[in-house]
Every structure is written in C-alpha cells, then in structure tokens.
Amino acid sequence: MSVFPKDFLWGGATAANQFEGAWDVDGKGPSCMDMATNGNHHHPREITPVLDPDKLYPCHDGVDFYHHYKEDIALLAEMGFKVFRFSMNWPRIFPTGFEDEPNEAGLAFYDRVMDECAKYDIEPLVTLSHYEMPFAMCQKIDGWASREAIDCYVKYAKTVMEHYKGKCHYWLTFNEINCGMISLGNYMSLGILNPGSFDLRHQNDDPQKRLQALHHQFVASALAVKAGHEIDSDNKMGCMIAYMLAYPLTPNPDDVELARERNQYRNYYCSDVMVRGEYPYFAPRLWDEEGVSLDITDEDRRILKEGTVDFYTHSYYQSQCASADPAEETSGNLFGGAKNPYLKETAWEWPIDPAGLRIMLNQVYERYQIPIMVVENGLGCRDEVNPDGTIDDDYRIEYLRDHIKALGEAIKDGVEVWGYTPWGCIDLVSNADGEMAKRYGFVYVDKRDDGSGTLERSRKKSFYWYKKVIETNGEEL
Ligand code: BG6
C-alpha cells in the first residue's frame, strides 16, 4: 500500500522568468531578471541596469514556453501530472507595475495555459511573484524598499485572482520570500538596486532597507491572502520558503547555538509572520544585531494577523553545517556554511541530503501543524545526449527516488503533505547562475549557454521513471 494519500498532488514546477522567454512580446515590460546576464558556477551573473548589446541575457528567451506551452503541457500530462506549479510574469500583466489597467494580451496567455492544463485535469499552482518584479519599479521606487510597492502588488494579485477565478485554486504569494534574509535577495527578490551592486551573488547590502522591504512584502502577502479568500472561498493561499536546513558541524555548544540561530533567522522569521500573523519572539534581537529599526504600523500588524496562509510550501535542495569557527565555513554552495563530511555534493557544490527533507518536514509540521507542499526539489547537473538522442539520467532518478522515500517517511511520521512538485520539470535557465548547463528536467530542451539550439523537447530516462512513480502513487520508485 502506498504511503502517499490517494489524492496526492504529483507534479513539477517552473518560473516565468526562467522558462517563458518572449520577454518583450505582446506588451510585456522588462522584469528585474531580464537585466541579469548569463553566468556560471565560477562567474556570477551581472546586473546591468542598461542592457549591454555585447552580453547575453538568458531570461529573454528562456526555453520559450510562451510559444511551446501546448507541447510542454502535453508532456506533463503524459507523465500523469496532477498539478503544475508555474509563476505569472508580473510585467506581462502590468508592464511597469504602475498602470491602472492590465495588459490584456498578458492575461490571455495565462488563460491559454490554464485552459490547456484543464484539458488534462492538471491543477494549476500559481506563484504570483517569482523573481520578476517589473524593472520600472526597481528604477523608480527602489523595488520593495518603498511602501508604494504594496499597492502595485495588491492591484496585480487581485487582478489575476479575479480574472482566473475558478480556474486556479492554489496560490503562492512570493517565491522563497526568505531570500530577503540574505544579501542575495536584494535584487532578485526585493527589486533593490543598491549603488555599486553589479554582481548578483555579492551585492552591497543595507540591512535596514532590506528588512524594511521584506516587511512590505509581508504586508502585501497578507493583503493578497485576504483578497484571495474574498474572491473565492475555495482558494488556498500559501507561503513559500527556501528551506536552508542548518546542522551544527560538531556537538560543540557554540556550533549548536549557531545552527539554532541560522534556522530561526533564515527559515522561521518569515514563515512565522506568514503562518502565525506576527513577528517571532526572536525578531527584536535580530533587529538589534542588524542595527535596524523597522517602520511597522498598527495597521500593518492588523493586516498581518488577518492574512495568514492556509498552507506552507518550500523548496529543499540541500542542507548546510554551521560552525562557530570561521575557518570551517568554506562551503561553496549558495547559502555558505561548513562542508558536511557525511554528504556528497553536486558539481555545483550543493550537498545531497535526502534525510534532511524528512527532518525539516517534521520541524515545520511540529511548529505550525498546517498542510505542507514540497514545491521545489531536484538535482541540477549536466546531461549528456547519447548518439541515438536518448538521455540516461540515472543520477537524477537516484536523487529524486531518495528524496521521495524521505518524503514518504515524513508522511508515515504523521506530517500532512499535499504534494510534490520537483523543480524545472522541463529544462530551463538556472536562476543563481543563469546557465542552461545546469539542468533539472524530466524533459530535455535543446538549448546551449550561448543561446544556440533548436529548443526541441525530448524525454529523458527520468521522464519514464517519474511517470511510473505517479502511476503507482509513489509505490514503485
Ligand atoms: C530556487 C528558485 O531557489 O532554486 C528557482 O526558486 C531556482 O528559481 C532553483 O531555479 C534552483 O536554483 P538554480 O540556481 O540551480 O536554478
């Protein structure tokens, strides 16, 4: 008997800025990530406030889901998807963010996508904002640093939730909102363009501005949650957290303490606000340490209380170790920390830790007792195409199998998990590095880092494997 509930939502996830392409088609305005160049693990993406004709901007074309959506959704349906997580491109709907009326051609595109999903009984799970704030908002109001961003976002969120009423019932307000807890989040997550910040991975940071901007996102999210419930009582509104699980490197109490602090600051600061409707008890200490004083009005506090989410979602790719000895903190993965001697790493130095998924699911459920969805997980790596066109991605199958097993164990532990949508189900542009070489998909897309390729889609070995997983509701792994 399968440990997965009968109606478990198996699927996959994508994001508009990495997937759609058509960055300036049918009235769409540029988003913040349209201004970021390509890069790789050793060479960070660059933020260029003015497009440089000598540079490559991989998000401009993505893998052209905009024109391939029928074929792509048919492939997802062939795997038996029950749910498809995708994000809406905010500047496709409001090109600068400041318009009073939406761009009808943008709305029409997601109508086509949702109708196509409905054809196959695939439930859409929509992220309202996944690293694609209209670039005009970064330029004019410094992104989320300004309170004005709240109104722009709420107008956008209400517009789409009203327009797609009845077609979509699962909404996530912000992708990986806790990215705003680290300096990496300044630009891609908060739309803040600090002077002198050109390297996407190492941006200049102003914690006062960053944490205030994050507060504005919390208020905007709560207002969207409230609006979502008012528009359609069947709507389920969720938060989305990049879960950065931290273990102490050793039993040295200093390491244990640092791990506790990292887990609280990085993982729970945001979700406590979104699930419980108020800042956690440890927030004032964090503000003191960062030397910030936030403008939080009584009305903000009321809104946060009224706009708590129905379910918790998260990404999970890796864990880290925390060491109080800075000499140990040499890990090359995105979130830093110390290397874990017990774990293997991907070519991008992301530690592979399936057991960590079970651990973190239990931690989250113990804290909140609300349903959870794992909306991102997966192995980013190079794929080789065999001379006959097949792709034997056994390494990806192994990674996913181990994580699904861990997920099953968490369900046996009693954690309520609604679904699983592994990342980049169709190959797309990687986010942190802006490259095609790092692939996650069950479906291969013929596109290279220099932008060349036919964009032809083909099924990898993992495609057939995942199809079986879904068919047997996770029994056959
Ligand atoms: C998550 C993001 O952080 O990780 C995605 O929500 C991203 O947008 C994914 O693509 C994987 O990261 P990367 O850098 O390998 O694409």
**Helix or strand or coil: residue 458?**
strand
In degrees and rounded to multiples of 5, residue 316 shows phi and psi of -145, 115
- For ligand 1, atom 2, the nearest C-alpha belongs to 431
pLDDT along the chain (477 residues), means of 10: 96 98 98 97 94 97 98 98 98 98 98 98 98 98 98 98 98 98 96 92 95 98 98 98 98 98 97 98 98 98 98 97 92 84 95 98 98 98 97 98 98 98 98 97 98 98 98 97
Residues 142 and 191: their CA atoms lie apart, in Å, by 7
**At 114, is the secondary structure helix, strand, or coil?**
helix
Which residues, 6+ apart, have CB-to-CB distance to 330 below 8 Å?
338, 339
Instruction: Judge if the beta carbon of residue 350 lies within 6 A of ligand 1.
Output: no
Measured distance CA(129)–CA(189) in Å, rounded = 9
List of residues 6+ apart from 382 with CB closer than 8 A: 347, 437, 438, 439
Tokens matching residue 259: 């791990």
C-beta of 190 in contact with ligand 1 (< 6 A): no
CB-count exposure of residue 198 (10 Å: 0-12, 13-18, 19+): middle
How, if at all, do strands 417-420 and 123-127 pair? unpaired
Alpha carbon 472 to its chain's center:
27
- In sequence order, the 6+-apart residues with CB closer than 8 A to the CB of 381 are 346, 347, 348, 395, 396, 438, 439
181 alpha carbon to ligand 1 midpoint, in Å? 16
Residue nearest to atom 15 of ligand 1 (CA): 430
Whether the CB-CB separation of 180 and 277 falls below 8 Å is answered with: no
359 ligand 1 Cβ < 6 A: no
Per DSSP, the residues of 282-331 read THHHHHHHHT------HHHHHHHHHT--SEEEEE---EEEE-SSGGG---
CA nearest 190: which of 223, 215, 224? 215
Of 223, 150, 133, the closest CA to residue 186 belongs to 133
Whole-angstrom distance, CA of residue 181 vs CA of residue 179: 5
* Active-site residue, selected from the candidate residues 376, 398, 475, 476: 376
**376 catalytic residue (yes or no):** yes
The rounded Å distance from CA 431 to ligand 1 centre is 5
Q: What is the pLDDT of residue 335?
A: 80
- The token pair that represents 431 in the structure block: 């986010």
- Residue 438 CB less than 6 A away from ligand 1: yes
Output the CA 101–ligand 1 centroid distance in Å.
Answer: 31
DSSP 166-192: TTB-EEESSTTGGGGGSTTHHHHTT--
Domains, the chain, with CATH or none: 9-243+304-318+350-471 (3.20.20.80)
What pLDDT is attached to residue 1?
Answer: 87
CA distance 35 to 26: 19
Q: Could you tell me the distance, in angstroms and rounded to a whole number, from the CA of residue 336 to the centre of ligand 1? A: 16
Alpha helices by DSSP H, listed for 387-441, are: 394-413
Type of residue numbered 73: I
Query: At a CB cut-off of 8 Å and minimum separation 6, what does 366 contact?
Result: none
> Is the Cβ atom of 72 under 6 angstroms away from ligand 1?
no
Predicted confidence at residue 329, as pLDDT, reads: 85
Residue 168 CA: distances (Å) to CA of 134, 432, 464: 23, 29, 28
**Taking the complete model, does pTM exceed 0.95, yes or no?**
yes
If residue 375 lies in a helix (H) or strand (E), which one and from where to where?
A: strand 372-376
* Spatial distance between the Cα atoms of 421 and 442, rounded to a whole number of angstroms: 12
Structure tokens at 63: 């893998």
Query: Which pLDDT score, from 0 to 100, does residue 428 have?
Result: 98
Q: How far is the CA of 401 from the centre of ligand 1 (A)?
A: 20
Q: Which residues contact 70 (CB under 8 A, 6 or more apart)?
A: 116
- Tell whether the torsion through CA atoms of 64, 70, 73 and 74 is positive or negative: negative
174 CA to middle of ligand 1, Å?
14
Contact 355, 347 (CB under 8 A): no
Could you tell me where the DSSP H helices lie in 51-93? 58-61, 65-79, 90-93
Whether 433 lines ligand 1, by a CB cut-off of 6 Å, is: yes
Q: Does residue 243 line the site of ligand 1, with CB under 6 A?
A: no
Q: Which of 176, 345, 416, 476 is catalytic?
A: 176
Cα separation, 240 vs 374, whole angstroms: 9
| Ligand 1 atom with minimal separation from the 378 CA | 11
CB 396 within 8 Å of CB 377: no
In one letter, which amino acid is 294?
L
At residue 259, φ and ψ (nearest 5 deg) are -65, -40
- Give the Cα separation of 183 and 201 in Å (integer): 8
The pLDDT score that the predictor gives to residue 336 is 82
| Pocket lining: 178 vs ligand 1, CB cutoff 6 Å | no
Mutating to test ligand 1, I would choose from 423, 425, 428, 439 the residue with most ligand atoms within 8 A of its C-beta, which is: 423
Strand partners, 11: 83
Q: Tell me what pLDDT residue 333 has.
A: 75
Cα separation of the two ends of the chain: 13
Owner of token pair 């859409």: 124
Residue 87 near ligand 1, beta carbon < 6 Å: no
Q: Which of 114, 118, 120, 112 is nearest to 76 (CA)?
A: 120
9's enclosing H/E stretch is: strand 9-13
